[in-house]
Structure 1
Amino acid sequence: MKSPAELDDVPWSALTHAYGSAEDVPELIRALYQGDEETAAEAIHELYGNIHHQGSVYPASAPAVPFLAHAVHHASGRREDLLMLLATLADHDPADTELPHWPRSSVAAICAGLCDVLPDLLPCLGDPERGVRRAALRVVAAVAELLPHRTRALAAERIDALYVDDPVPAVRADALIVLDRFGRPLEPLDSPLPEIRLAGALLAAERSGPPYPAELVEVIAEDGAEPDPGDDDFPWSGTATQDERLTRLLTRDPDAALAVAARWIAAEDLGSRGSRLAQQTAETWRDQEREVLNLLLAALPRQRDTIAVAARLRTIGRWIGHLPEPDADLRDALHRYAGADDGTAGAALLALVHSRDPRALDLVVHRPSAQLLEAAARHFPEAAGRLIPVIRHELAAGATGNAGIDLVNALAPFGAAAREALPELVDCLRTRRAAIVAARRIGIDGIRTPEITDLLREATRSTDSSLRAAAAVAHFQLTDDTDTTLRTFEELLSGPGPVHWYLSGLEPLGRAATPLLPLIEPRLEAGYEWTRMAAAEAHHWITGSPDRAVPVLAELVEPTPVGLRALKALAAIGRIPEELRPTLRSFVSSPLRLLSDSPLSREGHPDEELRALAGGLLATV
């Protein structure tokens, strides 16, 4: 260990952390000794931000280790936080120690420093404060496989004693986990303490892998229903708490996860553990929606407050549209919550809309919001006569931002009937409210007036490049005038920035965009994958030939957002290279979700789209 008197012996100004020079580190360490807990807490917070930042460590991190270890013993208070900082700094994947770059890495230097000072920190394992003991166990665990033999033996002796005699069950369970990292696997499933049984079952399941033995699932279901109140304060690695480890473990086996979630929900869903586990299972595995929704329905009356209820209702709304025919009892429950006079009504009504329950329409019309109207338009396109007047009213009332965008997009499912809203769209364009989507809608609706064409022409000179592109396309759609449109796109495609946004808007121009090909063709080989994809799409729209587009798009097909877009483009072209078929079959057959949901997605889960698109192409192309 090193005392503050030795801080000036370290060339901190020559070292770096997350924000550049580490010359501020000595003062932060000295602040730990001022006898003021608030000052010490602020210093530790700053150290978490610079010598450890979002999972990264730096050249200044290892030199701080012996000083932090000294502060554990000699600074007043905050020992628990300092120990957790040391454990977090040393966090690493044990497999990394076999990699060629390990000896030169900052984390290797941190681990070496922590191994050196660990004998001085071992007394913390016997500290009277349970939090200090728990944090000290995390420090030992962080470098368990790197400890010299003597230090390892001393640590194991102390941890054995904690496992056998500590009066706090959570500490004994922690000791069990560290002993496992020392290569001493124990399976105390018959322990009288649920904390120890749960930790033992988790470790045994990690060793066995899925599908997990029934006796382990039973222990987890029985003993894991109540969260450890201190779990969030003591992550084992990085930000992974024991609860997060357990969730990750269970979601590797969907049958086990859903069985455990059902038991936890039946046990009052404490901390929403069961409902969150069910939700994560649906995120991880395909075709689990109906069972997950049934569990979430059972969890609703067990939530402790309206915030938790609204969270469960939002999750139901996210998945209920995946069912061809949602169960009547679930729809009835949503209808009841949608009529409540509290913070749950909006989430319940949106879920009811996604369930395609006709009762939702009356509620939406009387309690409209932009998000509800957009969803209702998608699910009830036959209700144009009821919804369009409400959408127009909301637009006329001055909706801006995302609300304005949702309202304009809500007109799309109604086809020609949406022309009723042309005055409101023109006003959006004039006042620059949701102007980009309004310009696109105006171009699609195909009504030409001098006012509209003048507004579009003016918008092509906007400082907003996305509006310029949308207005230029709409102007062409209404006038067939290529001069304004081509001039606008020549400027946009020649300038800096993400040109794929502009390329993706060229489809309505078709062959009229031929003069732009010299700006598009070089981008078929661009480094950025989104640019290559958009250039390939545009090339096909303009030339009508798939020859150059298909190889570019086929190379991009993978379970990623850009890969999904490339697959859509290939489907539109109607040509799938034969070598792509095994990939498409893997998209269809995978039981795991290959794509995560996006918060921007409004029309279903991207993974469902990937599977359906791949299946359709295999069947028809």
Structure 2
Amino acid sequence: MRSPAELDDVRWSDLAHAYGPAEDVSELIRALYEDDEEAADEAVYELYGNIHHQGTIYQASAPAVPFLAHAVLHARRKREDLLMLLAVLADHSPDFVESPHWPGSDVAAVCAELCEVLPELLPCLGDPERGVRRAVLRTVAAVADLLPDELRALAVEQVDALYADDPVPAVRADALVVLNRFGRVLEPLDSPLPEVRLAAAQLAAERSGPPYSPELVEVFAEDGAEPDPGDDDYPWSDSVTQDRRLTGLLGREPDVALTVAARWIAAGDIGSRGSWLAGGIAEKWRDREREVLDLSLAALPHQDKPAALLRTIGHWIGHVPDPEADLRDTLHRYASADDETAEPALLALVNSRDPRALELVLERPTARLVEAAARHFPEAADRLMPVIRHELAAGATGNDGIALVQALAPFGTTAAVAARPELVDCLRTRRAAIVAARQLGSIGVRTPEITDLLLDATRSSDPSLRASAAVAHHRLTDDPAAALRTYEELLSSKGQTHWYLSGLEPLSSAAAPLLPLIEPLLEARYDWTRKAAAEAHHWITGSPDRAVPVLAGLVGASPVGISALKALAATGRSPKDLHPALRSYVSSPKRLLPDSPFSGKDHPDDELRTLSRMLLMIG
């Protein structure tokens, strides 16, 4: 353990942390001793960002350990935070200790320093502050596999005393976890303390794996309904809290998880635990949406701020062919309110395809709601078109403008023709210009104004707009010159060429002069580029022979794999050697792909399954 007087003995400027030379570490540690709470807060924040940055440690991390330990005992400020910093700095997998990379590694140096100072930190296990006791337990746990026998025995003895006598149940539960880290396998499922029972059940489930015994499931359901208020402040290894570990365990058995979620919701859905657990099951497992929606409906009355749960409902309700009337009626009540719940509830009602949603959208339209309504109610073009045109004419920009232009697509060419003045203005003023150019190219109405605007856009500094405008110009004029010139420039430049290649389909064989630039990309290092090049080669030549091997090699449970599946389906070919993988994509009960904000309107895992079925039918 080293005092601040020794800080200058370390050549911090010769050591590195996350942001370069670590010369600021000494001043940050000194700030912990100053009579300035704000400065101490800032110092701890900075130390968490530089000597431990997003789970990574550095050369300067180990030399800081003895100074941080001294600050825990003598600065008497931010002790919990500093103990947790020591714990996360020393976090490691016991398996990693056996690897050839352990000796000389930064984490090995941190652990060695922590083992040296731990005897002086162990008295913190008797600290009157419960938070300090919880934090030091995690510090002990971080190096439990590395302690020499004598220190190990001392640590076990003191942790055992906490487990037996601490007045705070959460501390006893933490002590139980640490004892198990030391190899003391305890399963006190009959403890009078629910916190201890729950910790014991989690430890037993981690050891046994699924399927979990009914006894464990009962403990999860009964004792897990109320969250530990300090759980987020005291994570364990890998910065995972005990609560996250529990939901991860439950997520391995969907039936158990939904049973437990139902019990937690019935107990009041405290902290939205039950509804959050249920929503996670829909994301991890296929075909559980209806059960999750039923639980979400049951949880809504317990929410102080239901907007988040309404967004979850809106996300999954479109996956159910015929949502229950009770759920739709509830959404209608929320959507009719005049508060922050109205919009997420109305979007969910639109996604449920309930006809009452259309009336509410028309009363208070937003771009996102109008776009969703157009997608789900294409028969309502005569009612939605005036709204779309009005909002575009009023100057909608950014994502709103894009959504409104995209809302025209479900209504077909007639609607786009009717909105031609607004689309022209979007292109002229560069509002949602890329999607406006595509729409103008698709409607088949050629005027000098439109073609001049498109030609001008091919000289834009935005390469995506240049590509879209060039293709649209060709579609209206049948003259490929501008498109060929634009694409030759784009494909000859460095950058994400796959974004441009994906728009070449309308040119078809007219793009043949570009083949010398496209064919080398069939062997590009970047997966997306190879996919786009193969797809474009098929469009241009009409032959799938070059495309199919490239696309088949990219098929997989990934975003580029799904895109390759779509392109492969368009070729009408389904190589036999892909069929085992395709069958596994169809039959998996688990989702093989997560959703993301960038995945579009459909869940990517649903696309994977649908496309795999289609290709198996082709085969």
TM-score range relative to shorter protein: over 0.9
Bigger drift between 450-459 and 61-70 goes to: 61-70
Bigger drift between 594-603 and 310-319 goes to: 594-603
Is 1:11 matched with 2:11? yes
Distance 1:247 1:62 in 2: 33
SS at match of 1:576: coil
Is 1:138 matched with 2:103? no
Distance 2:446 2:113 in 1: 74
Is 1:402 matched with 2:424? no
Distance 1:185 1:288 in 2: 36
Q: Which residue in 2 is equivalent to 1:481?
A: 479
**1:534: how far off?**
0.9
Q: Which residue in 1 is equivalent to 2:558?
A: 560
Work out whether residues 460 and 488 of structure 1, in 8 Å CA contact, stay in contact via their aligned partners in 2. Answer: yes
**1:7: how far off?**
1.7
Distance 1:524 1:113 in 2: 53
Is 1:372 matched with 2:369? yes
Q: Which residue in 1 is equivalent to 2:58?
A: 58
After superposition, residues 114-125 of structure 1 pair within 5 angstroms as 114-125=114-125
**Code of the aligned partner of 1:614:** S
**1:601: how far off?**
3.5
Work out whether residues 536 and 549 of structure 1, in 8 Å CA contact, stay in contact via their aligned partners in 2. Answer: yes
Q: Which residue in 2 is equivalent to 1:261?
A: 261
Is 1:324 matched with 2:321? yes
Distance 2:572 2:61 in 1: 55
1:512-560 CA-partner distances (Å, limit 9, x unpaired): 1111112111111111111111111111111112122111111111111
Work out whether residues 371 and 406 of structure 1, in 8 Å CA contact, stay in contact via their aligned partners in 2. Answer: yes
**1:140: how far off?**
0.8
Please point out which of 573, 576, 593 is paired with 1:578: 576
Q: Which residue in 2 is equivalent to 1:90?
A: 90
Distance 2:498 2:280 in 1: 33
**1:580: how far off?**
0.7
Distance 1:13 1:586 in 2: 54
Distance 2:386 2:214 in 1: 57
**Code of the aligned partner of 1:559:** A
Is 1:247 matched with 2:247? yes
SS at match of 2:156: helix
Distance 1:608 1:265 in 2: 28
Is 1:204 matched with 2:204? yes
After superposition, residues 304-315 of structure 1 pair within 5 angstroms as 304-305=304-305, 309-315=306-312
- Which ranges of 4 or more aligned residues in structure 1 deviate by more than 6 Å? none
**1:175: how far off?**
0.1
Q: Which residue in 2 is equivalent to 1:110?
A: 110
Distance 1:2 1:244 in 2: 36
Name the count of aligned residue pairs.
618
Q: Which runs of 5+ in 1 are unaligned?
A: none
Percent identical residues: 75
1:397-448 CA-partner distances (Å, limit 9, x unpaired): 1111111111111111111222211111111001100001111111111211
Please point out which of 331, 335, 355 is paired with 2:352: 355
**Code of the aligned partner of 1:486:** L
Is 1:495 matched with 2:493? yes
Distance 1:123 1:107 in 2: 24
CA separation of 1:485 and 1:577: change in aligned 2, threshold 3 A:
same
Q: Which residue in 2 is equivalent to 1:531?
A: 529
Q: Which residue in 1 is equivalent to 2:463?
A: 465
Is 1:303 matched with 2:300? no
Work out whether residues 413 and 442 of structure 2, in 8 Å CA contact, stay in contact via their aligned partners in 1. Answer: no
Q: Which residue in 2 is equivalent to 1:455?
A: 453
Bigger drift between 610-619 and 260-269 goes to: 610-619
Q: Which residue in 2 is equivalent to 1:224?
A: 224
**1:93: how far off?**
2.2
Bigger drift between 110-119 and 273-282 goes to: 110-119
Work out whether residues 90 and 114 of structure 2, in 8 Å CA contact, stay in contact via their aligned partners in 1. Answer: yes
**1:381: how far off?**
1.2
1:18-69 CA-partner distances (Å, limit 9, x unpaired): 1111111111111111132221111010011111111111111111111111
Q: Which residue in 2 is equivalent to 1:33?
A: 33
SS at match of 1:146: coil
Work out whether residues 48 and 85 of structure 1, in 8 Å CA contact, stay in contact via their aligned partners in 2. Answer: yes
Distance 1:532 1:231 in 2: 46
**1:98: how far off?**
2.5
Is 1:344 matched with 2:337? no
Distance 1:458 1:148 in 2: 75
Q: Which residue in 2 is equivalent to 1:437?
A: 435
So what's the TM-score if we normalise by structure 1? 0.98
Work out whether residues 37 and 76 of structure 1, in 8 Å CA contact, stay in contact via their aligned partners in 2. Answer: no
Distance 2:425 2:61 in 1: 57
Distance 1:105 1:474 in 2: 57
Q: Which residue in 2 is equivalent to 1:183?
A: 183
Work out whether residues 384 and 417 of structure 1, in 8 Å CA contact, stay in contact via their aligned partners in 2. Answer: no
Q: Which residue in 2 is equivalent to 1:544?
A: 542
Distance 1:351 1:373 in 2: 13
Q: Which residue in 2 is equivalent to 1:46?
A: 46
**1:103: how far off?**
2.0
Distance 1:381 1:136 in 2: 61
Q: Which residue in 1 is equivalent to 2:150?
A: 150
1:174-209 CA-partner distances (Å, limit 9, x unpaired): 000001111111111111111001101111111111
Work out whether residues 72 and 83 of structure 1, in 8 Å CA contact, stay in contact via their aligned partners in 2. Answer: yes
Work out whether residues 321 and 604 of structure 1, in 8 Å CA contact, stay in contact via their aligned partners in 2. Answer: no
CA separation of 1:238 and 1:39: change in aligned 2, threshold 3 A:
farther
So what's the TM-score if we normalise by structure 2? 0.98
Q: Which residue in 2 is equivalent to 1:615?
A: 613
Q: Which runs of 5+ in 2 are unaligned?
A: none
SS at match of 2:195: helix
1:135-160 CA-partner distances (Å, limit 9, x unpaired): 00010111111111111111100000
**Code of the aligned partner of 1:177:** V
**1:125: how far off?**
0.8
Q: Which residue in 1 is equivalent to 2:599?
A: 601
1:469-523 CA-partner distances (Å, limit 9, x unpaired): 1111101111111111111111111112211111111111111111111211111
**Code of the aligned partner of 2:85:** L
Work out whether residues 269 and 302 of structure 1, in 8 Å CA contact, stay in contact via their aligned partners in 2. Answer: yes
Q: Which residue in 2 is equivalent to 1:79?
A: 79
Distance 1:99 1:541 in 2: 51
Distance 1:360 1:275 in 2: 24
**Code of the aligned partner of 2:436:** A
Distance 2:140 2:249 in 1: 23
RMSD: 1.1
**Code of the aligned partner of 1:17:** H
Work out whether residues 35 and 75 of structure 1, in 8 Å CA contact, stay in contact via their aligned partners in 2. Answer: no
